[in-house]
Amino acid sequence: MSENEKIIDNLLQELKRGTLVLTVLLNTEESCYGYSLVQNLKEKGVEIEQNTLYPLLRRLEKQNLLESIWDTSENRPRKYYRISESGKDVRDSLLKEWQRTNAVIESMLSREDGE
């Protein structure tokens, strides 16, 4: 792997890491457990390892951005997560900033195309 490829790989990892919170908050409007969230995100084109997701879910729960409930009705208990009201406020703020940043980048790209 060339030096540029290494740099790009590292920067892409940082970019993905920076968007994971928003991605999770956007996909927990309905209650879901960790594995189903991994699968749902994968179907939408977001690859996330379980060993990355579970600590993130715990952190978001600790920050009161997610609520959780244990379902013990099955043989194997599952912890379900759902975005909290506070999480919705944070999600909306992050989404506005994402959209603003995206608009700025799109504007820069369109100016380059016009030159």
Quick: pLDDT tens for 15-25: 998 899 999 99
Contact indicator for 91, 84 with CB cutoff of 8 Å:
no
Domain count, the chain: 1
β-pairing, 66-71 with 78-83?
A: antiparallel
Confidence at residue 26, expressed as pLDDT on a 0 to 100 scale: 97
| Structure tokens that stand for 71 in this block | 């379902």
Domain hosting 75: range is: 3-114
Averaged pLDDT, 23-52: 95
In SS3 terms, 70-98 reads as EECCCCCCEEEEEECHHHHHHHHHHHHHH
Segment 24-33, tens digit of pLDDT: 999 999 999 9
What is the spatial distance between Cα 32 and Cα 93, in angstroms, rounded to a whole number? 23
Mean pLDDT rounded to a whole number for the chain:
94
CATH number at residue 27: 1.10.10.10
Whole-structure pTM value = 0.86
